[in-house]
Structure 1
Amino acid sequence: MFTRVECSSALPAGDNVLIFEGSQLPFRPGDSVAAALLEAGVSPLRKNPVDESPRAPFCMMGVCFECLVEIDGKQNQQSCLTRAHPGMVVRRQRGARTLA
């Protein structure tokens, strides 16, 4: 379970909202996409393309690649290393990355 390590749990008012699969999710300034999604209770973020096992952020520092999502149309983005910004469109990673 994801728990913030800070005193205040209230989300700030304002335009700090990203779009996750059609839903608006608020985030705090400085949050990574993974932190914003976990705060909103979103899990898993993807399924393993081989065995369909559910995957969610684990290390939160870019080592494990379990937090891959599609951000603004770009696949295989590490949500733990990507800072959330207003209007960002995020989707679950579906299967293996497609090649052009």
Structure 2
Amino acid sequence: MVVKEHPILEMSQDAKMVRITVDGRPLMVREGQMIAAALLERGIRINRYTQKRREPRGIFCGIGQCTDCVMIVDGMPNVRTCITPVKEGMVIKTQGMDEMEVCT
């Protein structure tokens, strides 16, 4: 079932499509959609890897209270993707892929 408009967010399925890059792969997603939701819609479920055990993490709370969904967005680590809207040209990277990256 596809919802045309959200009663609170009022996001239409006809929203403008924008290009973002995720781990070097270009994607077209709806502008204003939360990054985590856009990635889930494209089948991307891993946002980061834990620093110590290198375990994958994705959406947990979905309201910005935990840090499971953090990713590197436009060079800034630890961005909570469940509460950060998509903008044209964003460069998003799975956090914890490199040993030197900051993970929480």
TM-score of the two chains, using structure 2 as the length reference:
0.76
* Cα displacement (A) at 1:5: 6.0
Kept in 1, the 8 Å contact 2:15–2:31? The answer is no
Whichever residue aligns with residue 79 of structure 1, its letter is T
Match of residue 83 from structure 1: 85
Kept in 1, the 8 Å contact 2:31–2:88? The answer is no
Kept in 2, the 8 Å contact 1:26–1:36? The answer is no
Match of residue 65 from structure 1: 67
Which runs of no fewer than 5 residues in structure 1 stay unpaired? none
Whichever residue aligns with residue 97 of structure 1, its letter is V
Q: Assess, with a 3 A threshold, how the Cα gap between structure 1 residues 13 and 61 changes in structure 2: closer, same or farther.
A: closer
Match of residue 54 from structure 2: 52
Q: 1:18 aligns with which of 17, 20, 25?
A: 20
1:31-68 superposed Cα distances (whole Å, 9 cap, x missing partner): 01111111111121111112211100121110121001
Pairwise CA RMSD: 2.5
| Secondary structure at the counterpart of residue 18 of structure 1 | strand
Structure 1 consecutive aligned stretches of length 4 or more whose deviation exceeds 4 Å: 11-15
TM-score of the two chains, using structure 1 as the length reference:
0.78
State yes or no: 1:97 paired with 2:102: yes
* Cα displacement (A) at 1:30: 2.3
Kept in 1, the 8 Å contact 2:72–2:95? The answer is yes
